[in-house]
């Protein structure tokens, strides 16, 4: 477990399962911990002045957590219409894959969720190496909400309509962000997500489509 004292009474821990670690620290309610903020690869922990960072990291390192623990929770399934993938020509050229092989590979994995970029944007870790694609050199000015894309080593979902530079391979008819809800995103950080394929007709019929 790699960590640094980022500033007075704040430590940064780098870990491949950072979202799971953040949840474990929150749930354990370790003495001296004031706040925990998890991102895709790092956890920021604010702790009280009377708590020594070396002792705290020792207690954190003893926590039992793993991606397998999340696998005991029901996987969240997300429908995707790959016919709405406006950048498929780009990703197939970059990967050298047939479109059907690409889609089957994309839906075969379970991905771990975290958040960033814009409200509700879902970063998903666990993309097969053969699907890795570079971001667009010129970002799109408007990407529809629900768009599923690939940016480097991750796949992800645009919860809101926004500009963006990820390669868009499809779109989901689900709503991924509701600011008026007590839980704005239906996919909690750290949960596992798996995509399944739907047709364009199914997309348009799904709750009215869009």
Q: Which residues of the chain have pLDDT under 70?
A: 1, 40, 64-73, 116-119, 182-183, 208-210
pLDDT at 69: 54
Q: How many domains does the chain have?
A: 2
Q: What's the pLDDT at 185? A: 77
71 domain-assigned: no
CATH code, domain with 170:
2.40.100.10
The DSSP bridge pattern shows strands 10-14 and 2-7 to be antiparallel
Q: Looking at the structure, do residues 85 and 189 belong to the same domain, yes or no?
A: yes
The predicted-structure confidence for 106-153, as pLDDT tens digits, reads as follows 999 889 887 766 667 888 988 999 999 999 989 999 999 999 999 999
Which string of DSSP letters, residue by residue, matches 130-147?
A: GG-BPPPSS-EEEE-TTE
Among 65, 91, 110, which residue terminates a domain?
A: 65
Q: Which residues, 6 or more positions from 136, have their beta carbon under 8 angstroms from its beta carbon?
A: 87, 90, 165, 166, 167
Which DSSP string corresponds to 76-95? Answer: EEEEEBGGG-TTHHHHHHHH
87 lies in the same domain as 140 = yes
Q: Which helix (H) or strand (E) holds 56?
A: helix 53-61
The overall pTM is greater than 0.85: no
Please tell me whether residues 48 and 123 are part of one structural domain: no
CATH of the domain at 6: 3.30.1360.40
């Amino acid at each position: 477990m790699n960590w640094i004292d980022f500033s007075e009474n704040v430590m940064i821990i780098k870990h491949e399962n950072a979202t799971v670690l953040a949840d474990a620290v929150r749930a354990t309610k370790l003495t001296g911990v004031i706040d925990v903020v998890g991102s895709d690869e790092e956890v920021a922990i604010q702790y009280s002045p009377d708590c020594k960072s070396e002792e705290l990291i020792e207690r954190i390192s003893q926590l039992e957590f793993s991606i397998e623990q999340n696998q005991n929770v029901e996987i969240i399934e997300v429908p995707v219409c790959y016919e709405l993938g406006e950048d498929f020509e780009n990703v197939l050229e970059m990967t050298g894959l047939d479109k059907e092989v690409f889609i089957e590979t994309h839906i075969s994995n379970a991905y771990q969720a975290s958040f960033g970029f814009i409200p509700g944007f879902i970063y998903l870790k666990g993309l097969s190496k053969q699907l890795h694609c570079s971001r667009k050199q010129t970002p799109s000015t408007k990407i529809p909400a629900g768009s599923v894309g690939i940016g480097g080593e991750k796949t992800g979902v645009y919860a809101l309509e926004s500009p963006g530079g990820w390669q868009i391979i499809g779109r989901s008819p689900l709503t991924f962000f509701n600011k008026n809800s007590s839980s704005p995103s239906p996919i909690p950080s750290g949960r596992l997500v798996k995509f399944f394929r739907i047709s364009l007709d199914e997309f348009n019929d799904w709750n009215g489509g869009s």
